[in-house]
Structure 1
Amino acid sequence: MNLMRLIALGLLFVLSGHALPAAEKSPMNIVLFLIDDLGWMDLGCQGSDYYRTPNIDQLAQDGVRFTDAYAACAVCSPTRAAILTGKYPARLLLTDWLPSGRWDPQAKLIEGRKLRGLPVEEFTLAEALQRAGYRTIHLGKWHLGSEPFCLPEHHGFDINVAGNAHGAPGQYFYPYQGNWKIPTTTHRARWHVLPDGDAGEYLTDRLTDEAVKLISETDGKPFFLYFPHYGVHTPLQAPKKLVAKYEGVTKAKRQGKAVYAAMVESIDQSVGRVMAALQQEGLADNTMVIFTSDNGGFYNATSNAPLRANKGAYYEGGIRVPLIVKWPGLATPGRVVDEPVISSDLYPTCLAAAGLSMLPSQHLDGVNLQPLLSETETLSREALFWHFPHYNQHPSSHPSSVIRKGDWKLIESFDPAAVELYNLKNDLSETTDLANQFPQRRKALLAELEAWRDEVDAERMRPNPNFSADSKSSR
């Protein structure tokens, strides 16, 4: 059958009142950027006039920005576990960064037990997508365990680039050597993030090169690109030209260190390059892009103001993070949502984008955010929870549990023992403790927090029989 006859038959088919069969649309691709230690105020679209993030700001204009998004933990590994499992860290028994060392035998309380890797029994987001025919790619920081069972390839990723047990690269420039003293021991860990590279090569750029290459090799198969950057975690290192750009800003106008600002801009460039690659490959209109952080900004790198405190703490500066979701054809461009959401919600949201059924027995604590992306609906969930039965060295950090319900947030600290209550609508900076002014609300929220800890079987801290008031606490 020649071409002219095909065209004639097609016209006849349409004129007869029938439509030509539409080409079957391929499943939605998913790109998930997880930035390490990026603070809530570290983007232009979040209100910063210091950090230069035009590509991320454009992503926010093209998608939905959440103002009240939270990391599942104030430190990194538990948040990563929550994203990949859809569960609260307390339910997973994975509540601290890995490997954080032994608890201090002189501390007032014995820390809660914790796992040293993501359990293989968990059916991760990557496994769910892999089973549905997706090509699954892990690119960057893993920090959820090591050999023999706990690397990305053991949890549903077809490809693992640069993912290992460690939480930082050691060096951001090739050869990316790590040399780290293991806490509470006399031993050191040594590693290389990548086995090869060129002199002067910068890790953020190299990982982006890998991302662009992998996107170009998809060959029509749907893909899940999980891109947890090592940046902007310490050590604070960036290309000299970028650093010089921010060193030219007067100190009075700086929100953070010049080198940190350069690291933020390098992440923005990475996002821009990935978005350009999607456009070039004709995939931009069929790819959901998520951008978020694993906890608040590091105290020695950036200012989280107006939020209180920093990474490691359970005030807003430690757990409130940026979140942007671009879902072509569904998410209303430029929409801003103030509904409280959390890391665990990304699992069911990605399932929805892929056109897959929910897995409620797996993502027990995650809620599909799809209704918030284009409508004025709210979620049926009443509260968010955190539990951190550990000590750490970050300023303003205490072992504690937290509940946020509506505008109210209660923090129960275990050492020192205290209860704080804040109204975030009226007091975003958590400057006024209302626990004594609203005793009934305090009581009700404490009861709800305790009931949640029972439900998830959260590890409790216990009095340390070896503690002496004359000895030093680990804090």
Structure 2
Amino acid sequence: MRFTIIITMALVISFSCHSNNATDEIKPNIVIINIDDMGWKDAGFMGSDYYETPNIDKLSASGMVFTDGYAASANCAPSRACLMTGKWTPRHGIYTVGSSERGASKHRKLIPIENTKTLDKKHKIIPEVLKLNGYTTCHAGKWHLSDNPLEYGFDKNIGGGHNGHPKSYYPPYKNVNIKGGDDDYLTDLIMEKTIAFVDTVSSPFFLYYSPYAVHTPINPVISLFEKYNQKPGSNGQNNAKYATMVENLDRNIGLLIKKLRNKGILDNTLIVFTSDNGGLYGITKQPPLRAGKGSYYEGGIREPFFFVYKDKIKSHSKISISITNLDIFPTILHYAGINDNQFEFDGINLSSILEGKTEKLDRPLYWHFPIYLQAYNVNNNENRDSLFRTRPGSVIRYGEWKLHYYFENDEVELYNLAQDIGERNNLAIKEPEKKEEMMDYLKKWWNETKAPIPRKLNPEYED
């Protein structure tokens, strides 16, 4: 009898230990770092000689970098909605920030599709799903999808609301609901409170670190300004004030990684790093990519993008497969051990690529923008025309080919990105068969997603 009890207790302890180890293995901590307006080459690991990002560079080296990583939209709110839902813009209807009637009416040939400003709660998003599966969830920084992220599955909110940017990075921040000292730079304060969360929370946890930086206003970190003011610019990157914001952001990310390491949980943390859209052209440039934020040329949608998870994801690796922030949701569910059969994602689980099991991915990527977005600077841009960063249209990339379609006049631009990453040589006339093939894919996608097409003419338009 005594022997039986001892054996039973040993089995219970053994099972308990095995169960805990399995849980730890399939439930890593998850950190998404989603920078605001950081361009494709605004970090050292992507080739910048001007901005200094040693912490981000070191972190990227411990994982897999995607040279062809994309945001699913060229500006803030729709990109974030796509990331959180794993769905294309026509599924949630968020296309821009504020009104879809951006720019002078006399220059808009079509009546744009009405924009949705708040994410519908019918969509199940990342924090809700993770919370239901045992995760403690924290949002830190910019939210932009509703008034209160706590209503969307977050247990803790650090400074997030419907606002798209702070009125100032210096206190008082006015439209950012956060309390700090009289001298706290906003990016520093958000990280201070983020580290406090990490320091006290038990695993597993989900952290959506989405700092307002490096979005406007361009408020320099004074202690760093002279350093960059004396540093020669390089490849269209020479804004000393912006550079101080980039370095300060990097320092704060370094503090977060240090905290994870000191707490002994870095190795069991899946980290995703990306940006919500391209850099703001005129403040930063991404040569050889064309244009910037708000444009659907590569400079507006191609992002710095990498994944880190020790002993799971190949370190010191770089790959040119095209991915999008739609892929983040299904990928983290895989590593969290959560069945995704109940979801209808437009993104895919990238684990086979991240773990080196495959180096190919055959699928088209789409962007849909049935509205107008006025130019940031009519005298300094690389847009299709000087008045708008984007006119109503759709874009598809499939393999090395990329097609832009514009609804106003049924105009098409076709580029071979392998030969022309800067999108300067329109091949629509020279490659009619490829043009029609790409248009067929796009038309099918419109039907599948019920993408709204602007067709009504604007009576105030002046030709």
Structure 2 length as normaliser, TM-score?
A: 0.90
Equivalent residue, structure 1, for 2:91: 91
Q: Does structure 2 conserve the Cα–Cα contact (< 8 Å) formed by 1:130 and 1:156?
A: yes
- The number of residue pairs the alignment matches comes to 436
* 2-structure distance, mates of 1:30, 1:98: 31
Equivalent residue, structure 2, for 1:196: 179
Q: Which moved more, 1:397-406 or 1:125-134?
A: 397-406
For residue 171 of structure 1, the aligned residue among 154, 168, 173 is 168
Equivalent residue, structure 2, for 1:434: 427
Are 2:436 and 1:408 equivalent residues in the alignment? no
**Which amino acid in 2 is paired with 1:427?**
D
Q: Does structure 1 conserve the Cα–Cα contact (< 8 Å) formed by 2:232 and 2:238?
A: no
Equivalent residue, structure 2, for 1:108: 109
Superposed displacement of residue 417, structure 1: 4.3
Distance 1:253 1:297, change over 3 A: closer
Superposed displacement of residue 300, structure 1: 1.9
Are 2:223 and 1:241 equivalent residues in the alignment? yes
Distance 1:443 1:385, change over 3 A: same
Equivalent residue, structure 1, for 2:196: 213
Deviations 1:245-271 (A, max 9, x none): 100113467613111111111111111
Deviations 1:32-68 (A, max 9, x none): 1100000001111101111100111011110110000
Q: Does structure 2 conserve the Cα–Cα contact (< 8 Å) formed by 1:98 and 1:145?
A: no
* 1-structure distance, mates of 2:137, 2:428: 47
Distance 1:75 1:407, change over 3 A: same
* 1-structure distance, mates of 2:154, 2:100: 25
Equivalent residue, structure 2, for 1:138: 139
**Which amino acid in 2 is paired with 1:145?**
S
Distance 1:252 1:340, change over 3 A: closer
Equivalent residue, structure 2, for 1:270: 252
Instruction: Report matched runs for 1:243-392 at 5 Å.
Output: 243-251=225-233, 255-359=237-341, 361-362=343-344, 364-378=345-359, 381-392=362-373
* 1-structure distance, mates of 2:114, 2:169: 33
* 2-structure distance, mates of 1:246, 1:101: 38
For residue 230 of structure 1, the aligned residue among 197, 212, 226 is 212
* 2-structure distance, mates of 1:208, 1:43: 19
Are 2:61 and 1:61 equivalent residues in the alignment? yes
Aligned residue for 2:373, secondary structure, equals: coil
RMSD over aligned CA atoms reads: 2.2
Structure 2: unaligned runs, 5 residues or longer: 1-5, 376-380, 384-388
Equivalent residue, structure 2, for 1:31: 31
Deviations 1:273-322 (A, max 9, x none): 00000011111111011110000010121111110111111110000001
Equivalent residue, structure 1, for 2:3: none
Distance 1:161 1:401, change over 3 A: same
Structure 1 runs of 4+ aligned residues shifted over 6 Å read none
Deviations 1:119-142 (A, max 9, x none): 011111111000001001011001
* 1-structure distance, mates of 2:205, 2:395: 36
Distance 1:173 1:439, change over 3 A: same
* 1-structure distance, mates of 2:173, 2:194: 18
Q: Which moved more, 1:91-100 or 1:47-56?
A: 91-100
* 2-structure distance, mates of 1:288, 1:251: 35
Distance 1:360 1:368, change over 3 A: farther
* 2-structure distance, mates of 1:229, 1:271: 10
* 1-structure distance, mates of 2:170, 2:356: 45
Superposed displacement of residue 102, structure 1: 7.1
**Which amino acid in 2 is paired with 1:156?**
G
Equivalent residue, structure 1, for 2:417: 424
Superposed displacement of residue 465, structure 1: 4.5
Deviations 1:311-335 (A, max 9, x none): 1111100000011100122101111
Aligned residue for 2:374, secondary structure, equals: coil
Q: Does structure 2 conserve the Cα–Cα contact (< 8 Å) formed by 1:50 and 1:254?
A: no
Structure 1: unaligned runs, 5 residues or longer: 1-8, 178-191, 471-475
Distance 1:360 1:88, change over 3 A: farther
Superposed displacement of residue 19, structure 1: 12
Distance 1:102 1:420, change over 3 A: closer
Question: What percentage of aligned pairs have identical amino acids?
Answer: 38
Superposed displacement of residue 99, structure 1: 5.5
Equivalent residue, structure 2, for 1:181: none
Structure 1 length as normaliser, TM-score?
A: 0.87
* 2-structure distance, mates of 1:60, 1:195: 30
Equivalent residue, structure 2, for 1:180: none
